Amino acid sequence: ENLAKTIRNGGGEVFPVQGDFSIPADVERVVEDSAQHFGRLDGLVNNAGGMLGRVPYAEQTEAHYDAVMDLNARSVLTAS
């Protein structure tokens, strides 16, 4: 909210929205809600991501790998 306030105080328009970008339905909701609020989207900054805990590749489970890829790769494709 502090960042949103700063943007508004500077004359900008902001629409804060939260979502878990490892969940495709959340990604779609964030994009749809934002497009509806602004009327259209002219650009997209994909800045969600993380390691979800540092685990050596050889020790990763398939579930951990899938979770990391969902957050860091699938979310970018879904949002785009």
Cα 19 to Cα 36: distance, rounded to the nearest angstrom: 16
Mean model confidence pLDDT for the chain: 91
- Is it the case that residue 44 has pLDDT exceeding 90? no
How far apart (Å, rounded) are the C-alpha atoms in residues 65 and 26?
20
Residues 45 and 10: their CA atoms lie apart, in Å, by 20
Residues spanned by the domain of 75: 2-79
**Could you give phi then psi for residue 14, rounded to 5 degrees?**
-140, 145
Confidence of residue 50 (pLDDT cuts 50, 70, 90): confident
CATH number of 68's domain: 3.40.50.720
- Reported pTM: 0.73
Number of structural domains found in the chain: 1
